[in-house]
Chains A and B, each alone.
Chain A
Amino acid sequence: MTSDRRPDPDQLLEAITVETQRQTYGRLKIFFGACAGVGKTYAMLQAAHRQQASGVRVCVGEVETHDRAPIRQLLEGLAQLPLRRVSYQVQSLWEFDLDAALAAQPELVLIDELAHSNAPGSRHSKRWQDVEELLRAGISVYTTLNVQQLESLNDVVGSITGIRVRETVPDHCFDAAHDVVLVDLSPEELLSRLEAGDIYMAEAAQHAGNHFFRKGNLVSLRELSLRRLADRVSVDVRAYRDHHAIDGVWPTHERLLVCVRADATHEKLIREGARLAQRLQADWVVVHVDESRRSRHASEREALLRLAKLAESLGAEFVSMPGEQVAHALLDCIRTRHATRLVLGHRRRRWHVPWRKSLARAIADASPEVGLILLQPSPATAAARKPRSKPAVKARALALALLACGVTTVVASWLLRVFDLSNVVMLFLMTVVLVALRWGKAAGALAALVSVASFDFFFVPPIWSFHVSDTQYLFTFFLMLVVALVTGQLAARLRSEATSATAGERRATALARVARDLSAAMTIEQIVAVCTDTIAPIFASRGALMLPNLSEQIAGDGGFDAGVAQWVYEHVQPAGRDTSTLAGADAQYLPLRAPLRTRGVLALRPDGVALAAEPDDRRLLDACCALIAMALERIHFVDIARDTLVRMEGERLRHALLAAISHDLKTPLTAIRGLAETLETSEDLSRKERDVLTRAIHNQADGLHRLVVNLLDLARMQSNGVRLNKEWQAISEIVGSALANVDATLGERCVHTDLPADLPLVELDANLFERVLVNLLDNAAKYTPAQATIWIRAMAFGETMHLCIDDDGPGLPSDSPPEALFEPFTRGVKESSITGVGLGLALCRSIVSAHGGMIEAVQLAPRGARFEIRLPMGKQPEVECEMLS
């Protein structure tokens, strides 16, 4: 049992996270009272004055004076934030301005009436949501709350006082507050203050008429508030113990299961469950077993959605699980979740299935260790029990069932001439089965009854009467009725199962398709396409994927509101239509939360009334959001990986370049230095030796110069896009200029040029293109014997200019493909004495490609090499012809 005494490490970790969060978050202090008039606002303002005196920057966000002099006096001396004017219908309301408070950045904000509902059109529908946002922004808040405004106590207070309040605050908000201060006043004092008119305003006056301020009520409310606070204090004590690892009795871990049906009356079960869970310090789960055989109506769906929202707002996990048998599904759930207690709504035994065990009994029999709590669903709303389906549809089904029976009767009377009476029974049975299959249970049951009656009336002698001559027929009727009812019900159930299976199938297929499409997506654009083309149609809506830019700003897209999306992105909470935040928007905005961070926002604007109304659809939507988020994150990491790879490749190339350059730069420098020093120190050199040395220095310097020029050009070509200085040039001029340049290098080699006089102009960067020719001619000089011949030919074919530089040297290296010559650091003859980094041809290729052309090397037969450049010529510029004189 020692293990039970030890604090759960996960819990401690969570406590630490919560604690760190608390440090960055603002502090929430609630002034809590039994009812209006106990002096909460007064206490709050006094506390605020004390804070201000100790140097805290205090602002009043919203405090209603209701013309109470003491409150007005206390308000003086405190900074007031401006209120926001909201026009609602014809009147204009003054509301607390959240943005102003966030902008003012005070340390403490005072906001009266935590349970207040904001005017429609505000960012949040409830004030407590405003408060949460303030806390998240690191601003502390003082506020006030009455006990009956706590969500879980709403029913209880309602049943005690007979007055229900509509404005409530979820319990987790209350429980998460740092401090709760009880403002207490004995009922006698309260009543005397009331009589003296000390407290007062509209709200209390309204209650007064309802006998709210009866002493009995006040006593009960006071007790409730004291108890609720005591619960909270005991939680605090436990937190303190946990925190300080005080050895004590660690309560066993309780887990509470609340089973609800899709019925508005079951809200009470959830509220009771919340209180119970709070008291037991238990985790709690609200379970709805989706009996697939029951087709669901819109009202039920709505009720279920409300139940789910209520459960989540009270801090429960809401699970809707499919199951044939409620009892089986529940028992499964009890086992897998290790529930210790189960809350069930009490249900009267159903008259038409007297043989069925009640749910409670089934559970108790199968799992006796679970504590069962049976509650009566709230009677107040029982009057407004779920409207039984859509009457019009139902009536039509019943009418059609009657019609079917009539037709059967006619057909049977017709067939009776041929068939025996027993076959008529079969015909009726078939009708019942078909009716049940087509129009459901009720129609099937009606058809069964009508069939029996019609059989008796029309076919059993005496005909045209319900009298029966042969008593045996009574037995036939009974059997017929039972068989018809049972088979009809079975058929109806079969049909609804098939329907729900189809729906399930549809969802599964949709999810599989989304998952497949998203896993195949390699770019953001593809994910966007999946969102708009696959996911949005599943939910019968138009959608958009809204992604933040580098500065974390979301841009608007196709009529979707960027502001709402930005809020959703920052707060990681859904907003817009059908949510509690910015419900006025016409689309719903869902955060795409991936394991590491939020990746964006999915916006969906439903074509119909509601978006994903069924809990199953909701789950499907959540799954889709998770899939999108994962896909976005995956692509993010793929991009990072690719960038890293590119960087590594660049790094590798840079290393190779540096190694090659440092070799090729050092060699001529060493030679120049050595030669110069020899000249310097050797006095007795002959004139001829001196000339040889200086010529060598000269040559080395020239080689170095070429290398540096190539390097600079290559760097220029490869850095942030080349800026070509293109002009219409005559190839012959560039060839001439290049030949003049390499005159010394070519030595005795014979150069033949074949450049037709009528060669068209080409748009070129002449200097860069001269580099190409100089490099090619340099190469020709480098790799051919001294008496070689070089041909330079240019011709225009169609739209292309061909320029060939041929030589009759040894040709291209045979051990590598010709294209490899154009890679940087490739040299035809490896490790030869010929210097040069092998940048020349790489530079040629990048210059030619920058001009939109191509260059290739060809081995000539029987010997020699050809470098051929092809350049697009484009449209020739206009040159005015002159009149010949």
Chain B
Amino acid sequence: MRDVVVSKPRILVVEDEADIRHFIRLSLEREGMAVFEAGNAMQARIDAASRQPQLVIVDLGLPDGDGKTFIRELRGWSSAPVLVLSAREHEQEKVDALDAGADDYLVKPFGVPELIARVRAQLRRASIVAGDGAAPSVIQFGQVRVDLATYEVSRAEQSVHLTPIEFRLLAALIRGHGKVITYRQLLLEVWGPGYADRPHYVRVYMTNLRQKLEDDPARPQHLITELQVGYRLAGMGRGS
């Protein structure tokens, strides 16, 4: 694996609550990252443009505007991953933020280890995507190995048969590189625009996929459910 990270990763934290900002800063700095803080959307725009962060953490409830608007603006000129912080009750907001271009989300209250794991995952993903332009054709998660070029899937050295839709679903998750992909995005990508209002399609095929690829389908380790939001593929690495 090539080391792409040459300097300290720059992280921008947009959060109006000073204490939360503070502990995020402390935890990330301890991980060797450079953290910039912004307390409102205005400050965030300035910092995002001047600091060129490699990852942005955004609280959706900002005092001077909507976090989603900021994400959409940011996406206009930056591909840096965006991690959204939100309250549990507002599922639709999370979905909207993901559809607006965010990559992952964390529900408040969240723990520091989880935050760091997500940040690392997003940075890694960004580095892979930015690293060599073309995505690798063979990837691996857990015991599963997928060859995107030959449509071959195997689990613990055993070949696994996937239907075309199952394969397209898996490929879509793989292309997300651990990013949360909403039901809408999956439906658009796998089934096409006519199916955008049938999230149960994804659930049925996802269940099948888990049966075929997970060790314990009830407690999935890789094909992770984000309830009411979408799915995420965890623990993905480049296949050897």
Contacts and interface: CB of A to CB of B under 8 A. Distances in A.
Contacts of B64: none
A767 B206 CA distance: 18
Contact of B225 (A727, A733, A792): A733
Interface residues of A, number: 31
Interface stretch (B5-13, B127-135, B210-218): B210-218
Contact of B91 (A725, A733, A735, A792): A725
B2 interface: no
A775 B231 CA distance: 24
Interface string A755-767: 1010001000011
Nearest to B200: A728
A734 interface: yes
22 contacts: A701-B109, A705-B109, A730-B204, A730-B206, A733-B203, A734-B227, A736-B218, A737-B225, A737-B227, A753-B216, A753-B219, A755-B217, A757-B211, A766-B227, A766-B228, A767-B228, A770-B227, A877-B198, A879-B204, A882-B164, A884-B163, A885-B164
A761 B109 contact: no
Interface in A710-749: 712, 725, 727-730, 732-737, 739-740
A250 B109 CA distance: 89
B88 interface: yes
A512 B188 CA distance: 74
B220 interface: yes
A739 B210 CA distance: 16
A879 B211 CA distance: 18
B225 to A, nearest CB: 5
B200 A735 contact: no
Per CB-CB distance, the 9 closest pairs between chain A and chain B, nearest first, are A753-B218, A728-B200, A733-B225, A730-B203, A766-B227, A757-B211, A737-B227, A730-B207, A882-B165
Contact of B219 (A701, A739, A757): A739
A323 B14 CA distance: 98
Contact of B217 (A705, A757, A761, A767): A757
A730 B183 CA distance: 14
A757 B205 CA distance: 11
A298 interface: no
Contacts of B208: 757
A681 to B, nearest CB: 20
A770 B204 CA distance: 18
B218 A732 contact: yes
Interface in B188-240: 198-201, 203-204, 206-208, 210-211, 216-220, 224-225, 227-228
A709 interface: yes
Given A728-B203, A879-B204, A740 B228 contact: no
Given A757-B217, A766-B228, A733 B204 contact: no
A516 B211 CA distance: 70
Nearest to B91: A767
Contacts of B207: 730, 732-733, 757
Contacts of A739: 218-219
A221 to B, nearest CB: 89
A740 B199 CA distance: 22
Nearest to A740: B219
Contacts of A729: 200, 203
Nearest to B208: A757
Given A732-B207, A877-B200, 20 more contacts: A701-B109, A725-B91, A727-B200, A728-B199, A728-B200, A728-B203, A730-B204, A730-B206, A733-B225, A734-B227, A736-B225, A739-B218, A740-B219, A740-B224, A753-B218, A761-B200, A766-B227, A767-B228, A770-B227, A884-B163
B17 to A, nearest CB: 16
A725 B216 contact: no
A751 B216 CA distance: 11
Interface string B129-150: 0000000000000000000000
A877 B202 CA distance: 13
B89 interface: yes
Nearest to B92: A725
Contact of A733 (B109, B164, B206): B206
A753 B165 CA distance: 27
Contacts of A705: 109
B129 to A, nearest CB: 27
Interface in B104-122: 109
A749 B204 CA distance: 30
B218 A792 contact: yes
A766 B208 CA distance: 19
B200 A885 contact: no
B203 A761 contact: yes
Contacts of A884: 163
A757 B220 CA distance: 14
B218 A735 contact: yes
Interface in A848-864: none
A739 B88 CA distance: 17
Contacts of A730: 203-204, 206-207
A882 B169 CA distance: 13
A381 B122 CA distance: 112
A733 B200 contact: no
A471 to B, nearest CB: 120
Contacts of A740: 219, 224
Interface string A655-683: 00000000000000000000000000000
Nearest to A771: B88
A736 B211 contact: no
A528 B52 CA distance: 76
A803 B199 CA distance: 23
A766 B183 CA distance: 14
Interface in A769-805: 770, 792
A256 B224 CA distance: 99
Contacts of A885: 163-164
Interface string A865-885: 000000000000101001011
Contacts of B204: 730, 761, 879
Contacts of A879: 200-201, 204
Nearest to B220: A736
Contacts of B218: 732, 735-736, 739, 753, 755, 792
Contacts of B227: 733-734, 737, 766-767, 770
B91 A736 contact: no
A712 B199 CA distance: 27
Nearest to A761: B200
A712 B219 contact: no
Contacts of A734: 227
A885 B165 CA distance: 10
A644 to B, nearest CB: 34
A727 B204 CA distance: 13
Contacts of B91: 725, 767
B227 to A, nearest CB: 5
A884 B225 CA distance: 26
Contacts of A728: 199-200, 203
A269 to B, nearest CB: 84
A249 to B, nearest CB: 85
Contacts of B88: 709, 767
Contacts of B199: 727-728
B231 to A, nearest CB: 9
Nearest to B214: A736
A727 B216 CA distance: 24
Nearest to A705: B109
A710 to B, nearest CB: 12
A762 to B, nearest CB: 10
B23 to A, nearest CB: 13
A271 to B, nearest CB: 82
A882 B163 CA distance: 8
Scoring B89, B225, B228 by chain A CB atoms within 10 A of each residue's CB, the highest score goes to B225
Scoring A728, A732, A767 by chain B CB atoms within 10 A of each residue's CB, the highest score goes to A732
A789 to B, nearest CB: 15
A155 to B, nearest CB: 85
B117 to A, nearest CB: 13
A885 B200 CA distance: 22
Interface in A691-720: 701, 705, 709, 712
